[in-house]
Amino acid sequence: MLELRHLKTLLALYECGSLVAAAERLHVTQSALSHQIKDLEDKISGSLFVRKSRPLRLTTAGYKLLHLAQEVVPQVKAVERELGRLATGETGRLHIAIECHSCYQWLMPTLNQYRQHWPDVELDLASGFNFAPLPALCRADLDLVVTADPEPLDGISYIPLFRYESLLALPKEHPLTKKRFIEPQDLASETLIIYPVEQGRLDIFKQFLDLAGVEPKAIRTSELTLMMIQLIASGRGVCALPNWALTEYLEKAYITAKPLGKEGVWSTLYFAARDDQLNAPYMQDFILTAKDTCVETLQGITLLK
């Protein structure tokens, strides 16, 4: 079987042009190098060089192995360098999926700041609504998932990011604005605007309507938070959104908002990561950067440690 040392030897001989210079580059004796050449020729049952040629001339078999060495040896060296940087936490891969349409509000400034500190980390971003991101995380297709629905999975840890309250966004002149808080039956006559995901994954259903056995009069979907706000302001329905996602629109008086129930509907947002990656420096710094960004940019959240 060919070994990497054989390819390195052949490449050094070709580039250096002599046995003496090649031995010096490889930090071996001329005798040891000669034995490696003889060993390789025994393996291929043929000669690598035209004997007594000056400078060294390769045979057809020698050229075939040289082309292989020129392709493989640089790749191996590049991977060795990359592994060394991985071992010291200087580089890595961070493929992220998001199970939260509103999260782009804080995620994008987080990514912009993170890239400045970790330019060699391979970043990628995907929506987690068109596939199952947690199983993909277990398979190592992903490295980090932003989720409000943690599932107990072997080898997966959940790092709490922050707690937030869901509020019901209403048109400014809506009759429900006169109430101190919203009750489930209030929505039985309303068009509820939601993101296009399974209802069981939405807090408005699993923590509020389903518990009371209430269904809205109608459901309308929208992928964009801004579109939802426009529909609400136009009196086309109501919508439950995180308090921090509504701050800008409440300040501009486009809409109004009320708590869901007397105690409110609260949820926790988590980072999910594999245990074998969790303590990597680039992973820890991303989590810390995200927490700092959330504190700076979001109102109404409770940061968790």
Per residue in 233-267, pLDDT (tens digit) is 999 999 999 999 999 999 999 999 999 999 999 99
Q: Is the pLDDT of residue 283 over 80?
A: yes
Strand 256-259 and strand 156-170: the pairing is antiparallel
Q: Is the pLDDT of residue 128 over 70?
A: no
Residue 87: pLDDT band with limits 50, 70, 90:
low
Contact 237, 191 (CB under 8 A): yes
Q: DSSP secondary structure string, 211-272? A: HHT---SEEEE-S-HHHHHHHHHTTS-BEEEEHHHHHHHHHTTS-EEEEBSSS-EEEEEEEE
- Percent share of the chain, pLDDT over 70: 95
Residue 79 burial (CB count, 10 A)? 10
Residue 106 burial (CB count, 10 A)? 25
Q: How far apart are CA 288 and CA 77, in angstroms?
A: 33
The overall average pLDDT reported for the chain is: 89
Given this model, what pLDDT does residue 228 score? Answer: 96
Contacts of 297 (CB under 8 A, 6+ apart): 105, 106, 109
Q: Which residues of 201-235 are buried (b: 16+ CB within 10 A; e: fewer)?
A: ebbbbebbbeeeeeebeeeeebeebeebbebbbee
Contact 283, 277 (CB under 8 A): yes
For residue 242 the two structure tokens come to 């995180």
Model confidence pLDDT, tens digit, residues 197-221:
889 889 999 999 999 999 999 999 9
95: buried, middle or exposed (CB in 10 Å: 19+, 13-18, 0-12)? middle
Contact 236, 228 (CB under 8 A): no
Residue 103: pLDDT band with limits 50, 70, 90:
confident
For residue 205 the two structure tokens come to 């259903």
Given this model, what pLDDT does residue 90 score? Answer: 63
Model confidence pLDDT, tens digit, residues 134-173:
999 999 999 999 999 899 999 999 999 999 999 999 999 9
For residue 286 the two structure tokens come to 């991303």
* β partners of residue 259: 167
* β partners of residue 165: 266
* Cα–Cα distance list, 192 to 149, 154, 241 (Å): 22, 37, 11
Given this model, what pLDDT does residue 137 score? Answer: 94
Q: Which residues of 15-49 are buried (b: 16+ CB within 10 A; e: fewer)?
A: ebeebeebbeebebeeeebeebbeebbeeeeeebb
26 or 174: which leads in pLDDT: 174
For residue 130 the two structure tokens come to 């068109």
Given this model, what pLDDT does residue 81 score? Answer: 64
Q: What is the CA radius of gyration of the chain?
A: 31
For residue 21 the two structure tokens come to 């210079």
Residue 302 burial (CB count, 10 A)? 11
Q: Is the pLDDT of residue 129 over 60?
A: no
2 or 173: which leads in pLDDT: 173
Highest mean pLDDT of the ranges 15-19, 40-44, 247-251: 247-251
Given this model, what pLDDT does residue 12 score? Answer: 86
Contacts of 69 (CB under 8 A, 6+ apart): 7, 8, 10, 11, 14
